[in-house]
Amino acid sequence: MDKKERFLQEVKVLSKSLSLFTIAFFGIGFFLMFLVLFPDTKLFDKSPNITTEEVVTESLEENSEIEIKDGIHTETGFIAANGLEAVINNCTNCHSAKLVTQNRMTREGWLTTIRWMQKTQNLWDLGDQESIILDYLAKNYAPENKGRRQNLTVEEWYELK
Amino acid sequence: MQRRDFISKTILASATLAAGTTIVYGKYLPKGYKPLILQDPDPFSMFKKDKEMLVLNDKPWNIESKAHLLNDDITPNKAMFIRNNGLLPENIDVENWTLTIDGESVSKTKTYTLNDLKSKFKQYTYQLTLECGGNGRKEFNPPAKGNQWGLGAVHCAEWTGVRLRDVLEDVEIKEDAVYIGYHAADIHLSRSPDKEPISRGCPMKKALEDETLIAFEMNGEAIPIAHGYPLRLVAGGWPASVSGKWINRISIRNIVHDGTKMTGQAYRVPCKPVAPGEKVADKDMCIIESMPVKSLITYPKTGAMLKLGQELSFNGHAWAGDLEVAKMEYSIDFGSTWHECEITAPKNRLAWQHFSAKTSFPEVGYYEIWARATDSNGKSQPMVLPGWNPKGYLNNACHRIAVKVS
């Protein structure tokens, strides 16, 4: 009985994977054919208006495989500036880039944080990358004075009936 | 990133192989495009959260709620914040899940299966307020390091489980017990098996309270994975980090528990008040215990536009750590005059209380409604930020919503 059930289950799994494979096969096939027939398709261009700025970053991309839009690195949300690559390579292995981008610290504060991560979180020695990373963070993620209480910001005003 | 790209390329290669064409066409795939199965999962569907919630961090998951999403008396899962310190446990095996009670101050180590806990001890259900110690950190100046929580790292759900006290009585605790410390199945971000993402606890007095539960149900169902499935310690009124998720061991200590995030500056504030930005030595930092009095206006959502003469009914919740909220007030003139709100008694100790009031506005213009709770010891929420502290904990400044009258 047990054997039979297992056999039936295996048949089910097999037929499921077979149909998935068929779908994938035809899907990819059609997709590739499309690309071959229309090699300059605009299907994947994010924005039809290419500004000069985008062209410049496009050429940057060729070398570093880094996609930048409006001064922000698309995948991580980091500000595109000197040191970006060092920060991506050293700061996003263990934690999210969001943990960096939501914080604001002085150079000293960022250094203290790096030392804390090295002491307690298994962060490696950053070597000559350390000053590049610190310069990047201190410049792009510096604290601003918020006072003792800020004005409210309202995302959306709406009529309350 | 490199690892992920490597996997992308490998899968791409296998896909092309399977399709029977050469890998050459792979280069036509747009840059940044990843086959569906490689994309990061959507946290909103994965954790069944409201789309309006804000993802502060995705490794580890830290997701916060918003004031207007917390309007229910009992917070539903979809509006509950997530604060994880490590990666979610992998391969949770409920059948073989056990809770071990050990430590210097137990006579004999004892282990319970989930079934043991459920069948051996009486079950209790309480509504318990859990607020992240760093809720409101975003406002501190100079800024404090860590997840920049706004208002939404608080909830009050209904938890069902057994009293920790009953279990500890069964184990037999020695006279010299001072603290408990939990251990759990989550994984350190570095994936080092020798490191715990978090292992906190509380003094025996808090551990032995009626409402301190080893819970296996939340809002009448199994606890959602992000909130500690299958077993969570729940100690209402204290920083939510005391309420360890995915627990498999509780150590009864004859010293103050020294697990991860119990020492140094974590979940500690200066023992004596300090000036904003001041450096504080570890030895001058004290562990946070009960959370301070606080409240949230959960209806209406900030940004309401009214017509002159239109009456506004608003409501929300108030809580006070280990204490009760004794008085609830509001102001529509930036704190010049205050008016009382109606406030309910808590459903049980450590549950948040519900307030409501009606107001109208004397003329057209921009207004803010400020809410201020006072606890049973006479302490009120400050209108500006409370005492600055290096890690940005315990911001209980008045909640404010904006209103325009035309």
Query: Model confidence over B100-148: pLDDT tens digits?
Result: 999 999 999 999 999 999 999 999 999 999 999 999 999 999 999 899 9
| CATH value at residue A103 | 1.10.760.10
Q: What is the pLDDT of residue A38?
A: 61
Residue A77 belongs to what domain range?
A: 52-140
Closest chain A residue to B260 measured between Cα atoms?
A120
Q: Is residue A135 part of a domain?
A: yes
Q: Check residues B131 and A121 and name the one with the higher pLDDT.
A: B131
Interface of A with B in 41-100 (CB under 8 A): 44, 61, 65, 67, 74-75, 88-89, 92, 94-96, 98-99
Q: What is the pLDDT of residue A65?
A: 61
Q: What is the pLDDT of residue A6?
A: 78
The closest CB to that of A98, out of B58, B310, B383, belongs to B58
Cβ-based neighbours of B218, under 8 Å, separated by 6 or more: B77, B157, B158, B159, B160, B224, B227, B232
Residues of A in contact with B145 (CB under 8 A): 103, 105, 109, 113
Summarised one tens digit per residue, pLDDT across range B179-197 is 999 999 999 998 999 999 9
Across the range A30-58, mean pLDDT stands at 50
Across the range B334-343, mean pLDDT stands at 98
Across the range B239-260, mean pLDDT stands at 98
Summarised one tens digit per residue, pLDDT across range B342-382 is 999 999 999 999 999 999 999 999 999 999 999 999 999 99
* Residue B203 reports pLDDT greater than 90: yes
Nearest CA to CA, how far is B72 from chain A (Å)? Answer: 19
* Residue A52 reports pLDDT greater than 50: no
Q: What is the pLDDT of residue A34?
A: 61
Q: What is the pLDDT of residue B398?
A: 98
Q: What is the pLDDT of residue A66?
A: 73
β-pair type (B179-184, A158-159): unpaired
Summarised one tens digit per residue, pLDDT across range B250-302 is 999 999 999 999 999 999 999 999 999 999 999 999 999 999 999 999 999 99
Q: What is the pLDDT of residue A39?
A: 55
Lowest mean pLDDT across A49-58, A120-129, B163-172? A49-58
Q: What is the pLDDT of residue A19?
A: 79
Residues of B in contact with A157 (CB under 8 A): 303-305, 404
Please state which CATH number belongs to domain B294-405: 2.60.40.650
Rounded-to-integer distance, Cα A49 and Cα A43, Å: 14
Residues of B in contact with A152 (CB under 8 A): 302, 368, 400-402
Summarised one tens digit per residue, pLDDT across range B21-78 is 333 444 444 444 444 444 467 899 999 999 999 999 988 999 999 999 999 999 999 9
Closest chain B residue to A153 measured between Cα atoms?
B402
Q: Is residue A31 part of a domain?
A: no
Q: Is residue A125 part of a domain?
A: yes
The closest CB to that of B19, out of A29, A39, A156, belongs to A29
CATH of B61-287, one of 1.10.340.30, 3.90.1150.10, 3.90.420.10, 1.10.443.10: 3.90.420.10
Q: Check residues B39 and A118 and name the one with the higher pLDDT.
A: A118
Q: Look up residue A58 and give its amino acid.
A: E
Neighbours of B372 (CB within 10 A): 23
* Residue B3 reports pLDDT greater than 80: no
Q: What is the pLDDT of residue B72?
A: 98
Q: How many domains does chain A have?
A: 1
Mean pLDDT of chain A: 81
Q: Kindly determine whether residue A32 and residue B21, on different chains, have CB atoms separated by under 8 Å.
A: yes
Q: What is the pLDDT of residue B406?
A: 97
Q: Is residue A11 part of a domain?
A: no
Q: What is the pLDDT of residue B26?
A: 42
Report how many helices (DSSP H) and strands (DSSP E) chain A contains, helices first.
Answer: 6, 3
Q: Do the Cβ atoms of B64 and B131 come closer than 8 Å?
A: no
Q: Kindly determine whether residue A95 and residue B59, on different chains, have CB atoms separated by under 8 Å.
A: yes
Confidence of residue A22 (pLDDT cuts 50, 70, 90): confident
Look at residues A64, A77, A79, A61 and name the one whose alpha carbon lies nearest to residue A138: A79
Q: Is residue A160 part of a domain?
A: no
Q: What is the pLDDT of residue A31?
A: 67
Across the range B311-331, mean pLDDT stands at 98
* Residue A55 reports pLDDT greater than 80: no
Q: Is residue A5 part of a domain?
A: no
Summarised one tens digit per residue, pLDDT across range A74-116 is 999 999 999 999 999 999 988 999 999 999 999 999 999 999 9
